[in-house]
Amino acid sequence: MRIITGNDLKSGAVTWWTGYDWSLHVEDAVDAGDQAEAIMARETATCRVNNPYIIEGEKTADGVRPAHIKDRIRALGPTVRPDLTLKPADPEAREWVI
């Protein structure tokens, strides 16, 4: 699946295109398919999100996961500070990054 990600303009937080808006949670990401480029162009013009780009992802039993480790780390937060991730205190949070 093709998912769209970027960084929120105001907070810099990693965001994911949900089909109608942006979410902090990768699980909310949808397959943008062949509309991805058009969505990206439209969203770039709104200036809400910095540098949106398309990545490969897949649906797993645990939810949507980016294909590349870099975007999995972006989705979770730093693997070395579990208290700062989007799943704070979850001992297994790091597992799905690696």
The β-bridge relationship of strands 49-60 and 22-23 is unpaired
Q: How far apart are CB 34 and another protein at their closest, in Å? A: 24
Interface residues with another protein (CB under 8 A)?
Answer: 7, 9-14, 44, 46-47, 50-51, 67-70, 73-74, 77-81, 84
Q: What contacts 38, CB < 8 A, 6 or more positions away? A: none
Which residue number, 61 or 80, has a Cβ lying nearer to another protein?
A: 80
Q: How far apart are CB 13 and another protein at their closest, in Å? A: 6
Asked if 72 and 79 touch (Cβ cutoff 8 Å), the reply is no
